[in-house]
A and B are shown apart, each in its own frame.
Chain A
Amino acid sequence: MSKDIKIKKGLAIRLKGEADKSLSNAPRSRTFAIRPSDFHLFTPKLVKKEGEKILAGETLFYSKKNQAITFSSPVSGTLTKIERGPKRVITGLTIEADQKDTFKDYGVKSPESLSSQEIKNHLLASGCWPFVKQRPYDVIANPDTAPKAIFISGLATGALDADLDFVLQGKQKEVQTAITALSKLTDGLVHLTVAKDSASMLSEMQHVVLHKTNVLHPAGNVGTQINKIDPVNKGETVWTIAAQDLVIIGELFLTGKYNAERIVALAGSCVKAPKYYKTRIGSEVATMIYDSGLNHENVRVISGGVLSGDTISPKQHLGFYHNAVTVIPQGDDYEFFGWNKPVFNKISPSRALTFSWMQPNKEFELNTNTNGEHRAFVVTGNYEEVFPLDIYPLQILKACLVKDLDAMEALGMYEVAPEDFALTEFVCVSKQPHQQIIREGLDLMYKEIG
């Protein structure tokens, strides 16, 4: 059943400021925050009130639609601030952390001796469930559906992504425990994909089907792997989970604690000493950024990678699903005759007086400038060169824009997530927001077809 994947269509984006493979402890953050916007389409219902004490791993809120799905606090402390947006929707929760964490104990359990339902309940109660996401729609998995398979990507191929082999070092036991638990949740298979020549301990995992792939981005995207291994059909569901979150789930079973610790890559050309930090979900990113220092004043701080992360300010916090913080120069300046002069310092998939094709190993220092204005779709054929899925990218984007549900469904909307369109967005000559278009399309389908 194991399958070798070969991705030919893609783009390696090499950027300056890759994280050095050394690990430091990030200074403990004073405040922690959970942004409900990380959990797309989920409306939170609070369990705790403002000013209440909370333990690490204790339930903060649950999903309005499905009360079984709970979200836990990454630290122990006091819930100090609840921010609300329009219609009093909760947009942010801030926790002032204690000096030291006290954990809520969920009890040591062995996944081998538990039934599928017991494992599910354990994950739901402890707040580990939100790590499990599903396709279609790229949202938190619905625990009541039976997935046909579970996919785990064991490699990261995006620019400046955290190296999973490094991040998972020494966590073999946790990862194996988590995989064993997950394998009981599906009647189908657990697919784990690793790099072809990787010596990662992931290739020794039990209870999975191991696949090998080359490392051309987007081979590391779980969406690419699903499409190549066992694509999602209408009416089917697959679950996906990020490799670094397996550690948290594994620890829950081994120690009984929801330990939201995460190793994060601090990278980007603006960081003085890019490296890895041990920190927690929801901690203030300034703790890391000021520890390693910046060599630039006008910067963009991103929770996540340059291709699909969220813009934040240094005072804001690490996103729930992110294992990288990237800092790149802001590009809010004009460039004289920037549209026709030869370009040597930017990446381009074409050769229209752009010369990145002559320097395949150069690490570029890209900023956030769009390099042009927003236009209607004009150029064709360039998305296909970086899009390995068996889907027509331009046509599905247009179907989303005109809200044609039938076409969206027929063209493969059930298989995609916004991150799959990150590369097409990067190369887009018309500077269209592909990921946003796909997200809105998925939201519409969820609402209409659900």
Chain B
Amino acid sequence: MGLKQNLHTLKMKYKGTKMAPAFNAIHTFLYLPNETTHNGTHIKAADDLKRTMNMVIMSLVPCLLFGIFNAGYQYNVQTGDVTKALSFFSTEFWNFSNFTIGAWKVLPLVVVSYGVGLIVEFIFAVIKGHEVEEGYLVTGMLVPLIVPVDIPLWMLSIAVIFGVVIGKEVFGGTGMNILNPALTIRAFLFFAYPTWMSGDKVWVTGAVDTVGQPDAISGETILGSLAQNNGFGDWSMMDQFLGFIPGSVGETSKLLIIVGALILILSKIGSWRIILSTLAGALSMGLIFNGVVNAGWVTESSKFFGLMNVVFWQHLFIGSILFGAVYMATDPVTASQTNKGKWIYGFLIGFISIMIRVFNPAYPEGVFLAILLMNVFAPTIDHYVLEGNIKKRAKRLKLKTA
């Protein structure tokens, strides 16, 4: 066991020094540490934070792979190099040309996101003398999946630095933050560089560069099209479900998001309460809007008509509500921390997401705003849930003394 011994010797040598956290981060990546329990429970369950985060990353891998192929596919479809894919396993989609174009675009996003983010994490760990925490492993994976494929890398770097420092480290690191760091990064991009984050030119690679040319590539999403009352465009329901549509890198394939959700729920890592209640919230808002349209209060001339008229369950297949519900809303640190609170928290996220989507055509995707908003209110929800428990206890006492 040469490597194990050598690393142990190194660890002992640098124990207590400034660089120890940086070394330990790499060491614990290779080896589960040799720490033992003291008093208290002498045995511990097998799960640690690394394992938990690792599960989330694994559930994201299918989305990332699909995102890579889809980035190339969307480009090739428009240039006419491939024809429309008809089934999930179609070779029009899973081919080398799509992969190379996509990988060339997406992998740099992944590398920049992880590279920049982890450097910031390491710096903070060394300055503050705590261990490098695993939170960023998931954030770093999420970030490339929720940005448009053509986003310039320097923008991404700045946003990642902002997100990690302001979104997390100033509060004390993983576990202490109020806002979801990945969404903080996205929000920063959204408000700092709106032209790169919304509109009809950013969702397919090459669309920005070809603006105005005769063979211009359209970079519009279904959501954008609906917001302008133009209907679903050329995309069928099946395209949307399987994910052969333009959008942020990793959030197009609803099928694979559902697979990821199953991984998270069955491994007991993600909260099924939040996922379920978010979807319930979105559906009920959708139903309300359908009702409004049916009642004739909003007519076809209204600019809200396009999105309001979407059949309520179809809302789940448009945009990133499903991705948000499964991967973003379930972040345990920024979500409600009580089981009862999770139901309320999730429901409101779904509800507000669809509301923003319909009423705010300038920024048609409201999921990330809804989640950030509810992140802020999660402690309030918990407060009232706890208050219920406290009142029960007080009542018990009153009954006794009365």
Residue pair B267, A352 in contact (C-beta under 8 Å)? yes
What is the bound-complex CA distance between A421 and B11, given in angstroms?
Answer: 33
Known: A331-B36, A334-B8, A368-B43. A429 touches B48 (CB 8 A): yes
Q: Which of A234-292 contact B (CB under 8 A)?
A: 234-236
What is the bound-complex CA distance between A334 and B29, given in angstroms?
Answer: 11
Residue pair B133, A375 in contact (C-beta under 8 Å)? yes
Whose C-beta in chain B lies nearest to the C-beta of A15? Answer: B43
Residue pair A381, B339 in contact (C-beta under 8 Å)? yes
Q: How far is the CB of B138 from chain A (nearest CB, A)?
A: 11
Known: A334-B31, A381-B332. A351 touches B175 (CB 8 A): no
Q: How far is the CB of A186 from chain B (nearest CB, A)?
A: 16
- Work out how many contacts link A and B, with CB atoms closer than 8 A: 229
Is A306 interfacial (CB-CB < 8 Å)? yes
Q: 0/1 per residue, A361-401, Cβ < 8 Å to B? A: 00000111111111111111110100000111011000000
What is the bound-complex CA distance between A147 and B15, given in angstroms?
Answer: 51
Known: A311-B38, A351-B267, A376-B173. A370 touches B337 (CB 8 A): no
Is B123 interfacial (CB-CB < 8 Å)? no
In the bound complex, residues from chain B placing their C-beta under 8 Å from that of A309 are: 42
Q: Which of A333, A352, A376 contacts B47 (CB 8 A)?
A: A352
Whose C-beta in chain A lies nearest to the C-beta of B8? Answer: A334
What is the bound-complex CA distance between A377 and B38, given in angstroms?
Answer: 19
Whose C-beta in chain A lies nearest to the C-beta of B264? Answer: A352
Q: 0/1 per residue, A3-46, Cβ < 8 Å to B? A: 00000000001010000000000000000000000000000000
Is B284 interfacial (CB-CB < 8 Å)? no
Whose C-beta in chain A lies nearest to the C-beta of B394? Answer: A410
Q: Which of A292-348 contact B (CB under 8 A)?
A: 300, 302, 306-311, 326, 328, 330-340, 343, 346-348
Known: A334-B33, A351-B266, A377-B175. A384 touches B47 (CB 8 A): no
Whose C-beta in chain B lies nearest to the C-beta of A335? Answer: B32
What is the bound-complex CA distance between A370 and B24, given in angstroms?
Answer: 16
Is B295 interfacial (CB-CB < 8 Å)? no
Is A350 interfacial (CB-CB < 8 Å)? yes
Known: A379-B332, A412-B393. A334 touches B32 (CB 8 A): yes
In the bound complex, residues from chain A placing their C-beta under 8 Å from that of B43 are: 13, 15, 159, 306-307, 328, 347, 366-368, 426
Q: 0/1 per residue, B175-215, Cβ < 8 Å to A? A: 11000000000000000000000000000000000000000
What is the bound-complex CA distance between A311 and B48, given in angstroms?
Answer: 23
Interface segment among A79-87, A114-122, A433-441: the answer is A433-441
Known: A309-B42, A390-B389, A435-B40. A373 touches B35 (CB 8 A): yes
Q: Which of A13, A236, A335, A428 contacts B31 (CB 8 A)?
A: A335
Is A155 interfacial (CB-CB < 8 Å)? no
Residue pair B42, A306 in contact (C-beta under 8 Å)? yes
What is the bound-complex CA distance between A373 and B28, given in angstroms?
Answer: 9
Is B128 interfacial (CB-CB < 8 Å)? no
Residue pair A372, B397 in contact (C-beta under 8 Å)? no
Is A427 interfacial (CB-CB < 8 Å)? yes
Known: A378-B332, A384-B339, A411-B390. A434 touches B46 (CB 8 A): no
Report 18 cross-chain contacts, Cβ distance below 8 Å, ordered by A residue: A234-B397, A333-B34, A336-B4, A336-B32, A339-B32, A347-B43, A352-B52, A368-B37, A369-B34, A372-B32, A372-B48, A376-B133, A376-B175, A376-B176, A378-B332, A379-B332, A392-B389, A411-B386
